[in-house]
């Protein structure tokens, strides 16, 4: 597969087959991703690979927290507190694409809630990855981590696997850390679903649009 095709094939996949992911593939993905750059080679990433019974029990705890109405409490502020354009419109268009693909109407709040709840099960993917960093991390470390996460996702495509990076899996960090035995002062960056895509699922049938590079680029000679 050419690198261009790998980039274009990667997408946020929200329905998976129950086919187990081979341990060798997970190992190869992380072995490639470790070559991502980081400032002064700090290599700040720490990864939990969660599957099987451990994942099932964690899924149940996270979904229960969401359905009980517990307020999300991430270790850091992910989204803006005030949305402005063009980001507000892009966010809205993203949600509409998904609900349209699933034929979920604006009035059907229960189906909307059920669909959102799937986030906390990593969309029933057989594997969920959780990404941690030491509490001393500053903004530059988050830049490093983004490059590592992209490397994981592209390496997964190369292995014939699909992913979905998820802020939702970091909304109840105390639950995740306690369940997996991580210190509470660690920062949970995000989670990521990993598995084989269910290509028959309607939720995987759409793609979000991207701006042309000319919309965000200025050239200086």
Per residue in 187-210, pLDDT tens? Answer: 999 999 999 999 999 999 999 999
Query: What is the C-alpha separation between 194 and 101, in angstroms, rounded?
Result: 21
In CATH, the number for domain 17-79+120-204 is 3.40.109.10
Query: What is the C-alpha separation between 93 and 95, in angstroms, rounded?
Result: 5
Query: What is the C-alpha separation between 138 and 23, in angstroms, rounded?
Result: 32
pLDDT > 90? residue 94: yes
pLDDT digit string, tens, across residues 136-178: 999 999 999 999 999 999 999 999 999 999 999 999 999 999 9
What is the residue-averaged pLDDT of the chain? 97
pLDDT digit string, tens, across residues 3-30: 999 999 999 999 999 999 999 999 999 9
| Residue in the structure block whose two tokens are 């991390």 | 137
Q: Is the pTM of this model over 0.85?
A: yes
CA nearest 167: which of 55, 60, 57, 74?
74
CA nearest 22: which of 199, 148, 196, 163?
196
Whether residue 95 contacts residue 208, with contact meaning beta carbons closer than 8 Å, is answered with no
Strands 46-51 and 187-195, by their bridges, are unpaired
Q: What is the pLDDT of residue 1?
A: 80
The domain segmentation of the chain, as residue ranges, is: 17-79+120-204
Q: State mean pLDDT over 113-124.
A: 97
Query: What is the C-alpha separation between 203 and 164, in angstroms, rounded?
Result: 12
Q: What is the pLDDT of residue 190?
A: 98
- Give the C-alpha distances (Å, rounded to integers) separating 126 from 2, 41, 49, 97, 195: 27, 32, 10, 25, 6
């Amino acid at each position: 597969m050419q690198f261009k095709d790998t980039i274009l094939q990667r997408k946020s996949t929200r329905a998976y087959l129950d086919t187990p992911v081979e341990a060798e593939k997970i190992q190869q993905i992380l072995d490639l991703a470790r070559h991502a750059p980081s400032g002064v080679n700090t290599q700040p990433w720490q990864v939990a690979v969660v599957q099987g019974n451990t994942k099932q029990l964690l899924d149940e705890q996270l979904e229960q927290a969401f359905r009980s109405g517990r307020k999300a409490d991430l270790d850091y502020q992910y989204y803006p507190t005030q949305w402005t354009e063009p980001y507000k419109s892009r966010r809205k268009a993203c949600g509409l694409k998904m609900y349209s693909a699933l034929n979920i109407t604006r009035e059907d709040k229960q189906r909307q809630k059920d669909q959102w709840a799937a986030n906390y099960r990593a969309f029933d993917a057989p594997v969920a990855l959780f990404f941690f960093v030491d509490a001393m991390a500053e903004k530059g470390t988050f830049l490093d981590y983004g490059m590592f996460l992209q490397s994981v996702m592209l390496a997964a495509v190369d292995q014939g696997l699909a992913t979905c990076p998820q802020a939702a899996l970091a909304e109840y960090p105390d639950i995740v850390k306690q369940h997996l035995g991580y210190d509470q002062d660690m920062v949970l960056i995000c989670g990521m679903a990993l598995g084989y895509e269910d290509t028959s699922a309607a939720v995987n049938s759409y793609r979000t649009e991207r701006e042309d590079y000319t919309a965000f680029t200025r050239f200086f000679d």
